Chain A
Amino acid sequence: MIAEIVWGAGRCGDIMHRRLREQFVYSWMIRHFAMPAVSWWTHSNFWPEYRRMLKLEKAPLEQLRWLQWQRLEKLLRHAYEHVPFYRDQMEQAGLTPGDIAGVDDLYRLPVTTKSHIQRNFPDRITADNSDRSDWQYVSTRGTANRLMAIHDFAKRDMVRATAARALHLSGDYRVGKKMVEIPPDICNIVCGDEGEEMEGVLRFAWQMTRRRQWRDRKSIGSLRGLIERGWIYRKRTYPPFGSEGTNLSPERLADYAQRLRTHRPHTLKALPTYLYEIARHVCDRREQPLPVRVVKTMGSSASAKMQRVIEQGFTGSYREDYGSAEFGDMACDCDRRQGLHVFMDLFLIEVVRDDKPVPAGELGKVLVTDLSNYAMPFLRYQIGDVGRLLTAPCPCGRTVPRLIVEGRLEDTVVTCGGKIFTNDQLMDYFYGRTDVSEFQIIEKQPGKMDLLVVPTNGDLPADQLKGDLRKLFDDEVEVNVFPVKTIKPEASGKFRFVKSASHERLG
């Protein structure tokens, strides 16, 4: 008996050791042999850029500021000379690039909105001197309301490099380790295809050979994508929750849990709602936490209370980065988790109210200037998020600005008394209640709300909720409470728990 236990323990130890060794060796080989080889074969700067970026992380703030200004100055000139939309915008504001004498002057440029981009896409918002043969159309998730953008080869390299940078800095992921994603939908490349190619690399390469497609750019691009997903990131994509909404059946949640237990990825990225529901499923059943070292959200961040539940359901830690399809990753947290360190060598991020920067730490709209997209420049683009910018050095020692994103602008309630409630604040409020399992606030007009609630125990404390919400908002809000069985996702697959009609009051 004792011998069996010892043998069993030894065998478990062997398996774990072998798995660790395999992951380590594989990752080491990918980093030291495969990545340089792929970069050479594809003429890609992804890997060298990634390594340069990691070195820059340790650079002094003054050096980064100088670099940021050099890149901004060049981008402004380029946009003025080659992008009709920005030339018009600057001329209407009575500006030329020379009038912007430093990063602090950038606020003088008009804000670019999604509507501006859509109205001028693609011909008036792209650079007339850009090589169009290597453009790729990318889009944010969702069909109807998505924003499309164009990346050239250089920008695509940057997007890949920043993705690797965010994964490494925030969660110690290195290429070659296993990763799982659970996105709200599948494809965000406007490529004419209907979704990601999920077949194997070797099989695809064999088909290319049979069809004599080794000179076909599209096939080469697809193969590169497959290698990137399958071999470099070892990425698996699990299907989204779908239209069932937040309250997925226990069977399906158990299936996700089982797949993760079997696959044991280093990093898991998913919608915060997915992570929260999977973690809650595990915790409610008092099962062992799922063996995932780093859990990250995509689409939006998780509120503080959601993070706690997620960390209980997984063995690893919850980490965050900030990015979008049109920009790639723009910031990521460190192990102190006190805001997201902005990649200021590549992005200039502002937080504004009434288009003017707010003091450090104050809430406002997030604007992004992308310093590395020359095919389709984004200057002071209102990305649709609200957050705060912290300028004090981080306890981790880095001195770059840190961003705290608190949700989408359209999910931010502003009372007529001027009190602001971000998505994260309201999520924490409701997830802190024991009588509410899930919720959705639909503000039909400022001060008039429908509150959909999935009650914890089947009993809906409607009057209690109404009274509590009036106290919370400190305002004469009119609330109607409705019990529901689940909160359905939007058409994009993402969830919106707060739909505000008062966000324009934010300024």
Chain B
Amino acid sequence: MRDVRDDFPILSRLIDDRPLVYLDSAATSLKPQVVIDAVTNFYTHQTSNVHRAMHLMAEESTRDYENARKSIARFFNADEHEVVFTHGTTEAINLVRRCLPRVERVVTTVMEHHSNYLPWALDAGGAVVGVADDGTLDLDDLQRKLSNGADLLAVCHVSNALGMVNAIDQIIDMAHRAGAMVLVDAAQSAPHRPVDVKALGADFLACSAHKMLGPGGVGVLYGKSEHLEAMGPWLLGGDMIEQVHFDGYEVQPPPHRFEAGTPAIEAVIGWGAAIEYLSNLDMADVQRHDSELVAYALERLTQIDHVRIVGPTDPDRRCGSVSFQIEDLEAHGVARMLSNRSNIMVRSGFLCAQPLHEALDLAPTVRASFHVYNRSDEIDALAENLEAIVALI
């Protein structure tokens, strides 16, 4: 993959005359100039609402907004009407929880981000699949839970806390054989590897723009047509209805049925630009680049005394990030030291996956995560700083 760093203006920022080392892309990604330009262009030249007015600017906005939907649908190999814009992955998952009828028994996993755990795990019909000591999903336990009866399996493609890749094809197949639909949380996989909803056979898939080089405040729920058709609206208001009368209303077909009110138009348009950008890079190359960075990070960090990698150390089983702990040092303290010393930005804490930490009896962890703009020399900087920190333990 070509060197793309010049496409990201924020990487030219100096803090105390030293460059930025951004290793927190699993939290949110940096934005390329094309995305900034798309958003700026909307504000500068065509601010207007979509799907409503007849004037020129509204027509332009509606065109760009719907073109973004088309781009995103193509990106995931979905049909256009199967792509519902939401505020992000969290809202997409909650939309399924609220609107999908006849779902009482839901299986989820302990490795989920809170946003795919809380909607399901604490419900009466919820069942939670455990993990092995290295964080690998326990497929035997999954089979047992599915066999007990399940309407839906809600599972992540890649764990946000461990960066571990689930055997998603096998898992979807197991669920379908057990008669369960599958909702895939692709928030951490879609930014780094090709995701083909048709090939996967997922019933639902959710992800967020801001982790995919796009703006904040927008994500999608992909749903198979038959499922979306069966779902009633969640929010009531403008744009989601065909007609409104004194005594009732008629809802739009999907996806607009689920997009009440004025959407985050500029964010959707910006995401469309991000999707085009990623597509031009070629997602196969993006995946290769990510794999190289993860492998290199594992190689460097495993050589440092007192640093313990959390999760599998096989790079082929990881995507986008490496989590670790330093013996006797609190995760937040390590993260702040890296930031203070060398402008290295990493995430620390329970990483919105506290049940997973509890299941593995883990204290909070530090996570270094990557994207297309990261280079191996930034991992060197991380490793060198960690070496300096642990040298004093």
Binding site for B on A (CB under 8 A): 115, 118-123, 126, 132, 135, 137, 139, 143-144, 146, 148, 190-194, 218
Contact = CB atoms under 8 A, between A and B. Distances in A.
A143 B332 contact: yes
A339 B16 CA distance: 38
B337 A192 contact: no
B347 to A, nearest CB: 13
A373 B130 CA distance: 47
Given A132-B393, A190-B333, A192-B329, A119 B364 contact: no
Nearest to A139: B333
Contacts of A119: 16, 340-341
B392 interface: yes
Contacts of A191: 328, 330
Contacts of A122: 337, 388-389, 392
Interface of B: 16, 328-330, 332-333, 336-337, 340-341, 363-364, 388-389, 391-393
A123 B328 contact: no
Contacts of A146: 336
B305 to A, nearest CB: 13
Contacts of A139: 333
Contacts of A194: 363-364
B330 A190 contact: yes
Contacts of A192: 328-330, 363
Contact of A123 (B16, B329, B333, B392): B392
A193 B328 CA distance: 9
A148 B389 contact: no
A495 B392 CA distance: 35
Given A148-B333, A191-B330, A193-B363, A123 B340 contact: no
Given A121-B337, A146-B336, A148-B336, A190 B388 contact: no
For the complex of A and B, 9 pairs with smallest distance between CB atoms: A118-B340, A190-B333, A123-B388, A190-B330, A192-B330, A122-B392, A132-B392, A192-B363, A143-B332
Contact of A148 (B337, B363, B364, B391): B337
B218 to A, nearest CB: 27
A119 B341 CA distance: 4
A118 B333 contact: no
Contacts of B341: 118-121
Nearest to B326: A192
Contacts of B389: 122-123
Contact of B392 (A126, A190, A193): A126
A144 B336 contact: yes
A137 B333 contact: yes
A11 B132 CA distance: 63
B340 A190 contact: no
B20 to A, nearest CB: 15
Contacts of A190: 329-330, 333
A31 B341 CA distance: 44
B353 to A, nearest CB: 15
A121 B336 CA distance: 10
A126 B341 CA distance: 14
B386 to A, nearest CB: 11
Contacts of B336: 143-144, 146, 148
A118, A122, A144, A193: most-surrounded residue (chain B CB, <10 A): A122
A417 B341 CA distance: 38
B283 to A, nearest CB: 35
Contacts of B364: 194
B8 to A, nearest CB: 24
24 contacts: A115-B16, A118-B340, A118-B341, A119-B16, A120-B341, A122-B388, A122-B389, A122-B392, A123-B388, A123-B389, A123-B391, A126-B392, A132-B392, A132-B393, A135-B392, A137-B330, A143-B332, A144-B336, A146-B336, A148-B333, A190-B330, A192-B363, A193-B330, A194-B364
B227 to A, nearest CB: 39
Given A126-B392, A135-B392, 17 more contacts: A118-B341, A119-B16, A119-B341, A121-B341, A122-B337, A122-B389, A123-B389, A123-B392, A132-B393, A137-B333, A143-B332, A144-B336, A148-B336, A190-B329, A190-B330, A192-B328, A192-B330
Nearest to A122: B392
Nearest to B339: A118
B22 to A, nearest CB: 17
Contacts of B340: 118-119, 121
A312 to B, nearest CB: 40
A132 B390 CA distance: 11
A192 B333 CA distance: 9
A426 B131 CA distance: 56
Nearest to B364: A194
B344 to A, nearest CB: 13
Contacts of A132: 392-393
Nearest to A130: B392
A143 B333 CA distance: 8
